Amino acid sequence: MPLPDRKDYPISMRLPEADVAMIDRAAALKGRSRTDFVRDAAVRAAEEALMEQQLIRMTEEGFADFMALMAAPVEVVPELVEVMRRPAPWEAGYRAKD
């Protein structure tokens, strides 16, 4: 099956040298070209912006069920409490588990 024709549209922007250096460094860490890195970051940011504007529709019954769940007492999950009490790897006192 042949691939559909791909049309590329150039985007040009002016950036301070420090921004370009940071983008280049991050792209290199990911093993990507500057173009791929910037394109992926821009598309990801666009997707997030669009998702924030999505309207969630539900029936009155569904909304009532949702609100009942939100108003219900919190259930403590001991495993999550233990995980949340552990210091993060970047915090003092962190020890890697063997």
**Mean pLDDT for each consecutive 10-residue tract of the chain (98 residues)?**
78 95 97 96 96 91 96 94 90 73
Write down the pLDDT at residue 71.
97
In this prediction, residue 43 carries a pLDDT of 97
- Half-sphere exposure (Cβ direction) of 44: Cα atoms closer than 13 Å: 6
Look at the pTM and tell me if it is higher than 0.75.
Answer: no
Res 64: pLDDT: 97
- Under 8 Å between Cβ of 40 and 32: yes
Q: In 10 A of CB 26, how many CB atoms? A: 14
Q: Return the axis-axis angle of helices 34-52 and 17-30, rounded to nearest 10°.
A: 90
